[in-house]
Amino acid sequence: GQQVMQIPQYQHVQEGEDFTTYCNSSTTLSNIQWYKQRPGGHPVFLIQLVKSGEVKKQKRLTFQFGEAKKNSSLHITATQTTDVGTYFCAGPKQGGSEKLVFGKGTKLTVNP
Amino acid sequence: GAVVSQHPSRVICKSGTSVKIECRSLDFQATTMFWYRQFPKQSLMLMATSNEGSKATYEQGVEKDKFLINHASLTLSTLTVTSAHPEDSSFYICSARLADTQYFGPGTRLTVL
């Protein structure tokens, strides 16, 4: 079945270091979405990418959608302690469904 | 915009009782809402899709008689965990669909004693 895979599962960095999480889908996606879940919190929508090769920036966060629309990445420049949390990517379930298929997430911890 | 609320945020109940969780879209109408379950340190597991005015559709392995879903209006969906048991203890999160995006509620932590 359709799968969305994320690596790494965990990432620990020193404050100020960069961080990247990668998302790979077993199928071509019409769009990809990224969510952030703080410890003890709920997923919060960050961004949606739609176009092949699209790159979007939100302050220190850079999101990229691959040319084949099967992979994506989230890069954080100069991490801060406020970046701590689990980052999930998600894509629409195959077949035009309203459902999303989530990756298992990358848990980021930042050492001050 | 796109705010989703959930109530209660935490609930502790005795085994065998039923618990109702409400999910509301506060500033938009949502014909479709979703119910997820999340175990500690794990990803979101979709339980069911709630459609306003029609029956919910459940994912494989989710008991529809145990997890009753009602989507009575465009801003409210409810999940009732019937005859709860300790293994039903979990973090339940709803989301409401707006365009292609899902906006999540703050979640309900259910503990069944």
Chain B CB contacts of A88 below 8 Å = 43-44
Chain A partners within 8 Å of B97 (Cβ)? 98
pLDDT per position as a tens digit, B94-106 = 999 998 889 999 9
What is the per-residue pLDDT for B7?
A: 97
The 10s digit of each residue's pLDDT in A47-95 is 999 999 999 999 999 999 999 999 999 999 999 999 999 999 999 988 7
- Distance from the Cα of B18 to chain A's closest Cα (Å) equals 24
All residues of chain B having their beta carbon less than 8 Å from the beta carbon of residue A42 are 93, 104-107
B43, A102: Cβ pair inside 8 Å?
A: yes
Confidence bin at B53 (pLDDT 50/70/90): confident
CB contact under 8 A, A35 and B100: no
Q: What is the C-alpha separation between B77 and B23, in angstroms, rounded?
A: 5
Average pLDDT, chain B: 93
Give residue B16's Cα distance to chain centre.
19
| pLDDT tens for each residue of B8-22 | 999 999 999 999 999
Q: Which of residues 33-62 of B touch A (CB under 8 A)?
A: 34, 41-44, 46, 49
The pLDDT of residue B112 is above 70: yes
DSSP annotation string for B5-69: EEE-SEEEE-TT--EEEEEEESSS--SEEEEEEE-TT--EEEEEEEETTS--EEPTT--TTTEEE
Predicted pLDDT at B42: 83
